[in-house]
Amino acid sequence: MMHKVKVLFFSSLLFVSFLFVGESCKHENLPYINGDSICFERDILPIFVSNCAMTGCHDANTRAEGYDLSNYTSIMRRGIKPGDPTNSKTWEVIDDGSMPPRTNMTSLQKSYIKTWIAAGAKNGINCFVGCDSNVFTYSAGVSKIMSQCTGCHSGTNASGRIDLSNAAGVKSIALSGRLVGSVKQLSGFVSMPPYGSPKLSDCQITQIQKWINNGCKND
Ligand code: HEC
């Protein structure tokens, strides 16, 4: 009798520990980011705008499920509990992979959002954008800028059928003149990035311009 109880006890212990292991596997290990160094407008807003605030989803007009994720005030209106990511609905759905529905955020983007909430979900504007206008290769310059565009501009449903996730895609829109027109926000072009995201810095625009002048290489 005693033996049976023991076996039962230990096997249920094993089962419970399996449950815990299974549970922890669902959460990926996110890269470390220092919460103090995060600046909302530079690091967080572009992730929301590019992955969530598209037309028909969480932009100011559609507000799917009541969530407008296109600016700081409305992002804070629901789903964010400053200091407490695990009780923040907006983080929960990103963490469990149910949002965004068609793409996946990178683990770096996830870490930015989680760390930003944990550090108090503060607003931050006029952030310093580390940029060197003498760096204008695709890999070290242009692709870094485009990473805030690919949430909309990649894959089969790419906005405007413009794919900015590889050098060839960026090249074809660049040669049409529309890339520079849209990031300089000239009249006659749709301003990019959209929905009140800050304009690219002059330095970033210079990087793009120099890359184009240098032949749009995949370098
Ligand atoms: C939230 C989604 C979203 C993000 C983020 C975004 N775009 Fe767009 N972009 C669109 C949509 C939608 C269109 C099509 C607009 C239209 O045709 O009315 C578009 C159009 C464009 C066009 C064509 C403009 C024209 O006048 O013909 C260019 C070029 C472009 N985007 C570049 C970029 C760049 C570069 C970035 C990043 C700095 C960016 N986009 C970020 C959604 C986005």
Per-residue pLDDT tens listing for the chain (219 residues): 445 545 444 445 444 444 444 444 456 788 787 888 788 998 899 999 989 998 899 999 999 999 999 999 999 999 999 999 999 999 999 999 999 988 788 888 999 999 999 999 999 887 777 799 999 999 999 998 998 888 788 888 788 999 999 999 999 999 999 999 999 999 999 999 887 677 899 999 999 999 999 999 999
Q: How many angstroms separate the alpha carbon of residue 50 from the centre of ligand 1?
A: 10
Vertex 198 angle, CA 194 and 70, to 5° = 55
From residue 127, how far is each of 34, 60, 130 by CA, in Å?
A: 16, 24, 9
From residue 174, how far is each of 45, 134, 162, 166, 168 by CA, in Å?
A: 25, 19, 11, 12, 10
CB count in 10 Å sphere of residue 137: 16
Gap between the Cα atoms of 105 and 99, Å rounded: 9
Q: Which phi-psi region, left, alpha or beta, contains residue 122 (left: φ > 0; alpha: ψ -120 to 50)?
A: beta
Gap between the Cα atoms of 119 and 72, Å rounded: 15
CA-nearest of 181, 156, 142, 158 to 50 is 158
Ligand 1 atom 10 nearest Cα: 159
Q: Check: CB of residue 59 under 8 Å from CB of residue 74.
A: no
Q: How many angstroms separate the alpha carbon of residue 92 from the centre of ligand 1?
A: 28
- Cα 53 to the chain's mean position, in Å? 11
CA-nearest of 70, 125, 65, 122 to 89 is 65
| Residue 208, ligand 1, Cβ within 6 A | no
Position in ligand 1 atom list of the atom nearest CA 46: 5
Looking at residue 153, its pLDDT comes to 87
CB count in 10 Å sphere of residue 201: 17
Q: How many angstroms separate the alpha carbon of residue 179 from the centre of ligand 1?
A: 9
* Neighbouring residues of 134: CB distance < 8 A, sequence distance ≥ 6: none
Which of 51, 54, 157, 190, when mutated, tests ligand 1's pocket best, judged by the most ligand atoms within 8 Å of its CB? 190
